[in-house]
């Protein structure tokens, strides 16, 4: 007979008075069963088989790993193979236990092989659950789900699932008309986590699908994807609460009070979220735009619900709150047209011909690779300076995301080369020092060592 801790006749209301005596009796039955010869035989067989499986797995695992690394298959299926590869000892252990159980059943009574059968079932359940849980990318969450699922299966295989659920349901307290038990809390957490995970993945898939609709603008694609994801998450939370029997109308006042408190504490978060929706609706910026905000110049990589990801030319990624794009001045270099005009100022000496300088500046600027040919560069004389004739050369580019300082530098280098070639000098200030008193210069003899 298998020892039973929670028989069907246990009344949950008498849990505190009956649990301790029954646990003591259960412990005594377990000890008697443990000292049975066949129990010791089964434990020894299980330990030996696991050691054998572990030794074999350490020999075959390196070759299997090399084989798996050479496969070119779907990444999802490859992750499943990798999970199986880390559990080779269990793959070997499960059939060995079942073979041992079959041999034991053929040579003794069925109840003398209970531990072998239980070990086989639990090992198989752990193998299947641990592999399937690898679909969850977070390692911590995957392990938590695997252990929780295996614990439920283990209780069900041993016949203790129903009594355990009854015990958890008996541990409860009431708040008004709402009864909260340990079982209700566990069900709520499990259901909420499962539905939220499912909603998040479905939302990510929906975002990916929406981005494939080329008829929609990038801003509208992001907006639709975010709204679908938020709707699915809210729907998952509502379904989870309703499924465990929580009356949402009874939580109206309580949730209102919490909402007021959260509203004061999360003003910036809400402000950034609303600002993000406004940005998506008015299409002022979109992924791929080149923008300048303060001292930050870069291109927009992604629009999020709370911030905008901006990647600069030096590889740094700035996470700028959405509110900054609403309340401060933003330069969008590619808002309606990516064709951008840039100015480069320079000066030449007074003995230079300004007409020749203008012609050479335009010709030199046209030869720079990134200067657009859609609009020709122009050069204008701007003023007669103190020591130079000042000019400005204006040109257009169609790729501001590739940088502005570098193209200005290339234009200046071109001007330098063409002016050197045609003997046009670029003036620079000279300084004269006038001494009011005579200065006497003396030579100091060297001191020999």
The mean pLDDT of 360-376, rounded to a whole number, is 90
The mean pLDDT of 348-364, rounded to a whole number, is 92
Put simply, whether the predicted model's pTM sits higher than 0.75 gets the answer: no
CATH of 340-421, one of 3.30.70.100, 3.40.30.10, 3.40.50.970, 1.10.10.10: 3.30.70.100
Count CB-CB contacts under 10 A for residue 428.
9
SS3 content of the chain, % helix, strand, coil (to 5): 60, 15, 25
Alpha carbons 310 and 318: distance in angstroms, whole number: 5
Q: Is the pLDDT confidence value at 25 over 70?
A: no
Coil, strand or helix at 224: helix
Where do you find CATH 3.30.70.100 in the chain? 340-421
Q: Which is more confidently placed, 200 or 425?
A: 425
Q: Which of 70, 67, 69, 61 is nearest to 88 (CA)?
A: 61
Q: Is the pLDDT confidence value at 5 over 50?
A: no
The mean pLDDT of 371-398, rounded to a whole number, is 90
The mean pLDDT of 118-137, rounded to a whole number, is 75
The confidence band for 316, taking pLDDT boundaries of 50, 70 and 90, is confident
Q: Is the pLDDT confidence value at 54 over 60?
A: yes
- Given its phi and psi angles, is residue 199 left (phi above 0), alpha (psi -120 to 50 degrees) or beta? alpha
DSSP 308-327: EEEEETTS-EEEEEHHHHHH
Query: Taking all residues of the chain, what is their mean pLDDT, rounded to a whole number?
Result: 76
- Given its phi and psi angles, is residue 171 left (phi above 0), alpha (psi -120 to 50 degrees) or beta? beta
Tokens standing for residue 197 = 């995970």
Alpha carbons 73 and 323: distance in angstroms, whole number: 44
The crossing angle, in degrees rounded to 10, of helices 37-69 and 15-34 is 90
Q: Which is more confidently placed, 112 or 188?
A: 188
pLDDT of residue 447: 61
Helix (H) or strand (E) segment spanning residue 402:
none
Topology at the third CATH level for domain 275-332: SH3 type barrels. (2.30.30)
The mean pLDDT of 152-168, rounded to a whole number, is 75
Where do you find CATH 2.30.30.60 in the chain? 275-332
pLDDT of residue 151: 80
Residue-wise pLDDT tens digits, 251-308? 555 556 556 655 665 677 777 778 877 877 777 788 888 888 888 888 888 887 778 8
């Amino acid at each position: 007979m298998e020892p039973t801790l929670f028989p069907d006749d246990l009344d949950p209301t008498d849990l505190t008075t009956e649990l301790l005596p029954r646990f003591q009796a259960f412990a005594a039955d377990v000890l008697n069963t443990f000292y049975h010869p066949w129990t010791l035989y089964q434990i020894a067989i299980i330990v030996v088989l696991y050691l054998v499986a572990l030794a074999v797995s350490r020999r075959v695992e390196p070759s299997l790993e090399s084989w798996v690394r050479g496969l070119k298959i779907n990444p999802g299926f490859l992750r499943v193979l990798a999970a199986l590869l880390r559990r080779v000892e269990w793959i070997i252990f499960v059939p060995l236990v079942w073979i041992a159980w079959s041999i034991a059943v053929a040579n003794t009574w069925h109840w003398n092989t209970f531990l072998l059968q239980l070990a086989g079932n639990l090992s198989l359940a752990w193998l299947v659950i641990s592999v399937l849980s690898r679909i969850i990318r977070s390692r911590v969450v995957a392990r938590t789900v695997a252990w929780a699922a295996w614990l439920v299966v283990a209780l069900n295989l041993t016949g203790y699932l129903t009594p355990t659920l009854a015990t958890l349901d008996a541990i409860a307290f009431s708040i008004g008309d709402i009864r909260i038990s340990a079982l209700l809390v566990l069900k709520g957490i499990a259901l909420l986590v499962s539905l939220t995970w499912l909603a998040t993945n479905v939302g990510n898939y929906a975002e990916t699908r929406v981005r494939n609709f080329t008829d929609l603008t990038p801003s509208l694609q992001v907006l639709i994807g975010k709204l679908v994801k938020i709707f699915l998450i809210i729907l998952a939370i509502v379904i989870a609460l309703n499924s465990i029997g929580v009356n949402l109308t009874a939580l109206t006042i309580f949730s209102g009070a919490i909402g007021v408190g959260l509203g004061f504490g999360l003003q910036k978060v809400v402000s950034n979220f609303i600002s993000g929706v406004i940005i998506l609706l008015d299409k002022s910026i979109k992924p791929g735009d080149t923008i300048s905000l303060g001292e930050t110049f870069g291109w927009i990589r992604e629009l999020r619900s709370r911030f905008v990801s901006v990647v600069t030319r030096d590889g740094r990624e700035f996470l700028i709150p959405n509110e900054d794009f609403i309340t401060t001045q933003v330069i969008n270099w590619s808002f309606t047209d990516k064709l951008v005009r840039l100015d480069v100022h320079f000066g030449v000496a007074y003995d230079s011909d300004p007409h020749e300088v203008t012609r050479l500046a335009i010709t030199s600027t046209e030869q720079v690779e990134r200067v657009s040919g859609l609009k020709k560069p122009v050069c204008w004389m701007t003023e007669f300076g103190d020591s130079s004739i000042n000019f400005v050369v204006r040109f257009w580019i169609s790729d501001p995301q590739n940088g502005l300082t570098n193209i200005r530098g290339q234009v200046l280098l071109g001007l330098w080369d063409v002016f050197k070639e045609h003997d046009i000098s670029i003036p620079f200030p000279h300084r004269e020092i006038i001494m009011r008193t005579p200065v006497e210069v003396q030579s100091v003899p060297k001191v020999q060592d």
